[in-house]
Structures are given as C-alpha cells and as structure tokens.
Structure 1
C-alpha cells in the first residue's frame, strides 16, 4: 500500500501568542464574505496562512495514512474547521448584537473520498472517527415521497437525527443536510425524471477541540462536514465564505440548536493574528480588531462537559426564547412598534428606540455613540420587566404572554411553535439586562483595543490590559447572575484565575461547563498555569502532558479550508 505524505517541507518560525493584525492583510467582513473557500494542494501554502507549527502537519499526515489504512485508498480531500474562543459578548449574537470572537488552533479535520464499493446507495456514508470512543456509523439520506397518479411528490431529505439522543455522527448529518437541500433539492417531479443523486462517501474524523468545552466543537464539526460533502460532490465552485457561514448556521439547527451565527462566522472567516468584531444587524459584517501588545489569552477547561444540543430545551434554547420574548415585552413597555407576527430581536428594539436609519448605524464614532445612547435607554427601560415578586423568580407563562401584548395563540405561534423549551418561570428581566449590558461591554472592549492600537506607548497598553480585564470580570458576573449560564466550577475557575494573576477571566462559549478565557500578563503565563493547576481541584491528578491540552495559550487561527489531494 502506497503511503500518503502531504508535504516534504514545512516552514517553521517563532510566533508570539497573539499578534496585532496587519491592516493590509484583512478585508472588511462584507467583502471577506464574498471570498471563496480556500482550497490548497500544498501544505506549505496552507501553513503559511494558518501560521501553525510543524506538529500540526503530523496530524494531517497521520489522518491521511489512517484513512488509507481504513479504506484502502488515499483521501480525495481533507476539510479543516477551527474551534473558536469568544473574548467577550456571550449569549447576545442571537439578539443580533456584536461579539468579539477569534478562531483558535484546535480544530476538526475530516478526510473523505468517494466510495468504491459495488452499487452503493445514493449518498451513502461510512463515517469513522479516530477517537475510539466514537463508533463507526453508516447512514444514507432517505427521500420521503408521496405518490399520486401522475407525479411523485418529493419532500425533504431525511437523515434521522434523534435530537434527544445525539451521537457524534449527528453533527456530520447536520452538515450533510445543507448540501442535500441546496444542491440536491427534492421537488415535485414527473415519475420518468430522475433527480441527481449525491455521491456515496467514506470519511474519517479527528479533532482537537474538546467536546462540551465551550470552544464550539459542534460548530467546527458542522462546518467541516458541510465542507466535506461540498467537496466530494464537486460543489465548492461559487460557494463563498458567507454562503458557508449561512449554511452552517442552518445546518446546526438540525441538532436542535438555534445558533446566532458567531460560532460559524468565527470558524469560517477568521484570519490569523486577529480577533473579529462580528455584527449581525442590519447585515452580517465584521472587522479585525488589534489586541494590545503583551496580551495573552489562556484557555482553561473546567472539565465539566456541557453538550449544547442535549440540554437545549432548558438552557440554550430557553435563553433564546427568553431573550426574544424580553425584546417584545420591552418594546411593548416602551411603546416601540412591533408587528403582530414579528419575532423582533433586542437589537432591533434598541434601533427603533434610538431612531436608527433603515441602513443601520455605521461604525463611525457618531454611529457607535448613537447605539450606546439607545442601549442606555433600553437598559433603563428593562427594569419594567421585573416580576414584582420579592424573590424575582421570573414570570409564569401566562404572565409572560400578558407582558408581550399578544394573545396566547399568537404568542405560541411566534415564540414557541418553532423551538422546544421547558421552564416553569421565564426570566425576561435578567436575560434582557444581561444582553443589553453585555452589548455595551463589547463596545467598550472594542474601543479600548482601538485606542491602544493608536498609541504604541507601553503604559497605554498596560492600562488597556487592566481595562479589558475589568470588562471580562464584569461579563463573568453577568453570565453567572443574569444569564445564569455559568456553573460552580466555572465560577471557581474564574476566581482562581484572577488570584493567579489574570487581569480578568470569564466563561467562554454557551456555558454550563466548558472553558474560561483569561487575560494574562505575558511574563506570567508559566506561573499562571502552574498556580491554576495547583489550586483547581480537578487538575491536581492530571499529568504533565495531559494538562497541556486542558490549560493552554492560543494564537488566533485562520478559518475553514479544504486540502485537495492530487496525483
């Protein structure tokens, strides 16, 4: 069997953990969204864009060789999608407020090739995973048809994702859905016509983004699987980064998560050495944000696993509904017009409250000032959403409906008919206050970074780091007490991080487990990790090598790409 090697040389150079972005190497997101998905045939070029070390090339070679051993031939493609860290702006993307994520080095890699077995069923998939706890799976898309006298009525593709018992391949299926529906649509056709069929495929997955860590392993898996099925079916031409982001957002809903788009945008469109200010209103846009010199971000896994889709009914999806219902209740309280069947977001309510033009406020000083002013007014108005009970336990369903200004039937249609949630009391005041105050903190974080970038003085950067740390601490407090997406272990880990010398520390990701991100002085990285390892109880019995995958510094990575094998 011929051994598959992807490259013979990799250029290695030392890089600081975080680098300020070069203004000449980045496009505004509105332009970058139109860029094609990068397709490489040389790892030299791929690694020059990723800025990664040769140890990552070993993973690619190992995956290619494992694929060849498993399936008897080399892969046709390898798709890569990175995880992400959100520096600040938690649980506000689905309210359409701006966030500040960055792609990270840990990623998902999926190798694939068309099947060569005799007469495979259309679109059949053999899915294997290099991690032994994930068992091999086989599945095929089913056409759900109904037959009349003259026509076959072809309905939507079905891949049988069980949202209540999600397995690892559910995220692969989720990515497949978008490709099937966009490029192999099932429409009403005559019996004599044969719809084009997707290609049967073998695939092998590996990943370094810990599941349930808050670093968006699920989004990375969905992005990578979407790319794999695009590539193997010859559908990459014309697919832009923006298109892939939108597809991945829709695809992740297949596992029951109504994502706001931050995770997918960061995984797809990020560029090396920058964070992104990603905004979603009035359209998807982003711009690179330089980080102060000597800023080092450390990720620390709480070792509490939180699978976003598994607990969505009582956690993530519930926050989405509470935030949306809070937006309507706030608008009703403040006399802001909302259509009877409109599912308005808090960002839209804030814009209407502040008299925002139809094209939206721009990112000029004047535009940001207008947004800040409207946020302040909305935040003051949010006090009217309190339940009025001494313990502030929230609103019952009937009380929430009454605050919305809608009848029960209309409320159910707009807010509950499309999403599965479970709660006795709904915390509209807390969630609304969190979203609005967090949106202001994102603007503050962005402004601090921009001021520091405009002044090279060391003292300015030291002051900026302290200001950013204070904003991260305030975000953590809000996530814990208002959004209630933290857990005791995350609260403890953030406190221990501050005691170990961090400027600030906060939960990153959906929460209820996963990771903290801490801003640490450059000269304190090793001492910080040593102290955190000694004081966080779950770390005490972890070996020297294993701890490197649990607590680590990361530099911003580039976004998703495809490697194509050539003869």
Structure 2
C-alpha cells in the first residue's frame, strides 16, 4: 500500500520553467547532453516544535518556495560527476558510484558535495545492486535556500540526492520511506537529528502546514487561519549544525536524561531511547512525565532538567497550536502568536540554542507588530519566523526591512537583497519530479 504514494511527476509550469531552463543550459554546457529529468526538493520553515523530533514528539513545519533542484542523467562512463550552478562551489568527480563512500568519509571538512554523497550512499543502501549497472551519474544542482539559515538547506540537498538516485534507477518507494531513508542518510554527515526536515520535504502539500508525528511516521494537514501570514527573517548569523558540537550535544543530553529516568523506573531501561518512548512506557501525560523527570533528575546535572522541560512543554505547545488552528475563536491568531513567543523563550533559556543577534531580531520583529516570533530550525543563528495578519503583512515586512538597514543589523545586511532576507511565505508543494517538455516538431 505504501507504494501507492509515490513522488508526483508534475508538469512544468510558469513557477518553475525559467529555473529548469537555466539549470538545463548549465547541465548541457557541462556534460554536452541534455538532462534526463529534474528533481525538486523544497526547504521548510518550522512554525513550532524545534528540537523535539529526535525525542519522538510531533512538530509543525511547512514547505517553502526556496528549494534545491537537481538535473540528472546517466554518465557515459562509470564516473560520478557533480556541478553546481553557483560557481563558488567547485565541481566534484569520483571514478564510480561505489567509490563515493570513501570520499564522504574523508576528513577534508564539510564540502558542499558531501551532502549529495550522503544521499547517494543512503539510496544505494536500499537499491538492489542489479538495478545499478555499470553507468555512473551526471548531476547539476541549483539551490536557492540560504545555507546555514535554519531553513533546511542541508537536508534538502541530501533528500534531493536520494530522490534523484531512486528515480534514476526506478526503485519503487513511498514518500514516507523516502523521508526516513533521507533522514538516516543525513546522519552520514555527522548530525544525529530527527526526521522533521525530510518528512516535510517529501510529504508537504500546498496550502497546509503539517503535524508530523513519529514512530510511526504520519502526517496530518494543519489548515492555518486564512488571515494569518508567516514571515521569515534571516539574522545573517550562519550556523551549520554539522560543523559544531552544539546540536549533537543537545541530542546526547536528551538521551542521557532518558537513560537516568528510565533506570529508576524500569528493569528494561536500556530499551528506552527517547523521551517520547519514556512517556509511552510510563503511561503518563506530558505534564506528569515532566514532574517524574524532574524528580528523577534532581540530583543530576540541572541542565538535563532544563532540556526535558523544553521538550515536554514544546511538545504540548505543538498540540495546542494544532488545536487552535482547528478552532473558530476570533482570538486564535493572537493565541498562536503567544505560543510562538513561549517557544522562543524556551529555546533561548531552557534549550540554550539561540543567539544574541537572533534574540534581538525577535525583539525587533515584535516591536514592528509581529503577533509572535521565534527562531526556526536548529538555532545558534539562522532565521526567525514571525506571525502577522494579511492586512498588516506589507507594513510589517517594510518596517522590519527598514530596521535591518539600521543599527545593529546594518553591517550584517549591507550587501544583501533585503527581499531575500525578510519575506512572507505560505505552505508550498513537497518534492516532485519534472521532465522538460519536448519541442513540437
């Protein structure tokens, strides 16, 4: 039944045809023949629920317009070739698909191509060898998701590579399976994240955010209030979660807390791996589980209590966010904003994954009239997401851009197109395959 939910093959329309044409020209100039097909994977903005997916709790992201597009064909030899439309990223080549794992493991830093190699290695782990054959691959890529900004640029690269390989070798697989394989594949780069980014990349539908639950992976459309508009603003402080220890430290802290708590309650404590699994095994609600956790950790590092408090309270905010979206109460947009503000405070103070510039940008957004604002993504820099209304969005965006030109942010954005730094967004389509239309003879 899972195979009845494949990645869609969409017709090329006005929203994407110019970008496909430009990438197609680049592919042709580099490889001297046309691409066979194109794979598109969007970035995402998480509206609420950061740093809880890897603890097994539901999140609420939506796909955005910014994306990664891959043009691909089989090569004339066994080699694997990458080229990037952005010429700041050098071309990559290895002699065969099977040799690319060695390049992935080389300790020469986080080169851009390693994210693609993660996806290729992950896909090859599930595709039967007899489907691969002896031919290699030509890949040209164009990504317009700001890197290290908290909008899932790295996960989009990995997921695009997985999708490209799976489609190239016609391996039948569902969108859910693609998401889980891509999440596993990204761990080859060193980050021990959950599956939120990959799940929304493959399972997003235009016009709705998604409540994404894990173990098992399942999604529910969240129809946002018609008057609500979400605006993304980039702090211009970059943080690559694979390049620092902070992200994996938070994952480890949560796992350590789970083991300590479980050991006090269960003989089979070693089988309990996440805070979500702990709650299920205890059979308690989120508040009660937090109380049990605080009692169990009172003689341990107080940081562990703070991490657990964020996870359990943030998980409750996600469910409340969904509930408010389903209601018809006139104050529901204001209530969503309050939840976002609470979320940022928790991420800043309890999970300690914000950044002073990002915190100041949140304050500026609120002073410009946002009903709520919070960091989105891993944190330690990157973007915020702010909530405003349809009637106020133009004024809010203009006021926020004006504030960024002045004071603290002036140097950070002086060479930037502010339309790409602060912009409204809405729920977009998930990953898709495209074929360029053949000219009519």
Is 1:533–1:539's contact at 8 Å kept on the other side of the alignment? Answer: no
Match of 1:261 in 2: 195
Q: Summarize the alignment of residues 316-331 of structure 1 with structure 2, pairs less than 5 Å apart.
A: 316-331=247-262
1-structure distance, mates of 2:369, 2:58: 29
Matched, 1:496 2:372: no
Is 2:96–2:136's contact at 8 Å kept on the other side of the alignment? Answer: no
Matched, 1:342 2:271: yes
2:88 counterpart (133, 136, 145): 133
2:220 counterpart (275, 280, 287): 287
2:173 counterpart (220, 223, 239): 239
1:532 counterpart (400, 404, 427): 400
**Paired residue secondary structure (2:105):** coil
2-structure distance, mates of 1:387, 1:319: 19
Matched, 1:511 2:440: no
Match of 2:286 in 1: 375
Matched, 1:102 2:77: no
Cα drift, residue 242 of structure 1: 1.3
**Paired residue secondary structure (1:204):** strand
Is 1:110–1:206's contact at 8 Å kept on the other side of the alignment? Answer: yes
Unmatched runs of 5 consecutive residues or more in structure 1: 1-30, 45-53, 145-155, 186-193, 355-372, 389-393, 396-425, 453-459
1:86-126 per-position Cα deviation (integer Å, ceiling 9, x unaligned): 1000100011111101111100001111123xxx3x3x211
Match of 1:440 in 2: 316
Cα drift, residue 340 of structure 1: 4.9
2:240 counterpart (301, 307, 311): 307
Match of 1:82 in 2: 42
2-structure distance, mates of 1:35, 1:379: 38
2-structure distance, mates of 1:252, 1:177: 10
Aligned residues: 435
Matched, 1:272 2:206: yes
**Paired residue secondary structure (1:549):** helix
Match of 1:202 in 2: 138
2-structure distance, mates of 1:499, 1:33: 49
2-structure distance, mates of 1:475, 1:163: 36
1-structure distance, mates of 2:56, 2:89: 35
| Cα distance change of structure 1 residues 495 and 341 upon mapping to structure 2, 3 Å threshold | same
**TM-score between both structures, scaled by the size of structure 2:** 0.92
Match of 1:413 in 2: none
1-structure distance, mates of 2:126, 2:141: 24
Unmatched runs of 5 consecutive residues or more in structure 2: none
2:423 counterpart (541, 544, 552): 552
1:210-262 per-position Cα deviation (integer Å, ceiling 9, x unaligned): 11010000111111111122233x224x2110121111011101101122100
Matched, 1:250 2:184: yes
Matched, 1:56 2:16: yes
| Cα distance change of structure 1 residues 504 and 143 upon mapping to structure 2, 3 Å threshold | closer
1:197-221 per-position Cα deviation (integer Å, ceiling 9, x unaligned): 4531111111111110100001111
| Cα distance change of structure 1 residues 323 and 438 upon mapping to structure 2, 3 Å threshold | same
1:352 counterpart (261, 264, 281): 281
| Cα distance change of structure 1 residues 163 and 484 upon mapping to structure 2, 3 Å threshold | farther
Is 1:34–1:242's contact at 8 Å kept on the other side of the alignment? Answer: no
1-structure distance, mates of 2:422, 2:416: 11
| Cα distance change of structure 1 residues 164 and 126 upon mapping to structure 2, 3 Å threshold | closer
1-structure distance, mates of 2:75, 2:437: 17
Cα drift, residue 267 of structure 1: 0.4
Is 2:263–2:269's contact at 8 Å kept on the other side of the alignment? Answer: no
| Cα distance change of structure 1 residues 492 and 162 upon mapping to structure 2, 3 Å threshold | farther
| Cα distance change of structure 1 residues 288 and 55 upon mapping to structure 2, 3 Å threshold | closer
**Paired residue secondary structure (1:62):** helix
| Cα distance change of structure 1 residues 470 and 196 upon mapping to structure 2, 3 Å threshold | closer
Is 2:12–2:435's contact at 8 Å kept on the other side of the alignment? Answer: no
1:222 counterpart (158, 181, 188): 158
1-structure distance, mates of 2:134, 2:124: 7
**TM-score between both structures, scaled by the size of structure 1:** 0.72
2-structure distance, mates of 1:383, 1:555: 39
Cα drift, residue 532 of structure 1: 1.7
**Paired residue secondary structure (1:519):** strand
Is 1:324–1:343's contact at 8 Å kept on the other side of the alignment? Answer: no
Is 1:249–1:260's contact at 8 Å kept on the other side of the alignment? Answer: yes
Cα drift, residue 297 of structure 1: 0.1
